[in-house]
Amino acid sequence: MTKVKVASIGFGHLGQWHAQKAHQLDGCELIAIVEPYEPNQKKAQEKYPETKIVSDIKEVMNEIDAAVIATPTSYHYEIAKGLLENGKHVFCEKPVTVTVEEAKELKELASKAGVKLQVGHSERCHQVWERLEEFSEIVKNNSVATIVRNSPFKGRAADVGVVEDLMIHDLDLALMLFGKPKSIRAYGMKVLTDKFDHVKALLNYGHSVVTIENSRNDVKTERSVQLNSANGILRVDLLNNKVSYSKDIKSDSEQEIHEFDYEKRDHLYIEQEKFYNSITNNIEEFVTIDDGIAAMELIAAVNTSLNENKEVNLV
């Protein structure tokens, strides 16, 4: 099997894990790790002594077929642009760029070069989403949905607010589950940084409302999705890989609650595996640049609502 020659760009918190997956996967060959920060370079060299450690992607551009970008978001656009202009396939962590306009430009470059451009929305990898048909009546007819992602502050990703850091995961899940909302109204607080650290967004779908609550200065860690409808209730604990649900609820009998655990997966491994598979077999990316742009458009709407204190119409 022909292996995709890849460079892993960034060896910080998330970049270390992406480099590990690229090193483990059979579908690719880790040619280089790109990291300008000297202490991280030393860590990378100790971990992967047979891999090239370079400061700039230009040093290995002619040796690779593809790259995984796991740098701070503010660097995504320039790095991805250079790769695409050189005809390289790109896997870019979320959010793909700082602005929607930048993301659209990358889409055009990828199309022109005829290469793959995949976005890292890892929450789509939960096994439970493959079983949604079992709960289709709840999902399709929900009247209220609540998505929560809270955690204590970890001292990183301070270059962006909680919307770009955490809420982007849940906006993407809302798009995957329910499609594009009609409008968004958001409320937030700046607590630890000069950006919003706690945000609640109300996504109006006309027939239903999805509430997304994200905080990066909580006292506990929680990741969950709950759907309530006349046809039942579905709650997914994304942190502990557990599902609770109730169907056929009647007013004259006690409500039955069912639970099951689903397989815990290595989401970064799955994302990269699907990325190399899309290159080798010339199939659509697992998460396309259009998916990434759709999530970014919702981010822009949330930020507009926060900064201008108003509801933002999307249709």
pLDDT in the model for residue 1: 61
List strands edge to edge, sheet with 232-237: 258-261, 242-247, 232-237, 222-229, 142-150, 209-215, 198-204, 183-189, 312-313
The answer to whether the beta carbons of residues 243 and 234 sit under 8 Å apart is yes
Could you tell me if 128 and 254 lie in one domain?
yes
CATH number at residue 195: 3.30.360.10
Could you tell me if 168 and 234 lie in one domain?
yes
Report yes or no on 292 lying in a domain: no
The answer to whether the beta carbons of residues 185 and 121 sit under 8 Å apart is no
Could you tell me if 170 and 86 lie in one domain?
no
Could you tell me if 153 and 237 lie in one domain?
yes
Global confidence as pTM: 0.92
Q: What is the mean pLDDT of residues 38-64?
A: 97
Report yes or no on 102 lying in a domain: yes
Report yes or no on 291 lying in a domain: no
Tokens of 184: 């968004």
Domain range enclosing 17: 4-122+267-286
Per residue in 139-185, pLDDT (tens digit) is 888 889 999 999 998 876 667 789 988 999 999 999 999 999 999 99
Please choose, from the candidates 301, 294, 289, the residue with its C-alpha nearest in 3D space to the C-alpha of residue 81. Answer: 289
Per residue in 251-278, pLDDT (tens digit) is 778 889 999 999 999 999 999 999 999 9
Distance CA 53, CA 36 (A): 9
CA dihedral 56, 59, 60, 62 (to 10 degrees): 130
Tally the domains of the chain: 2
Could you tell me if 17 and 90 lie in one domain?
yes
Distances, alpha carbon 218 to alpha carbons 63, 83, 102, in Å: 45, 38, 32
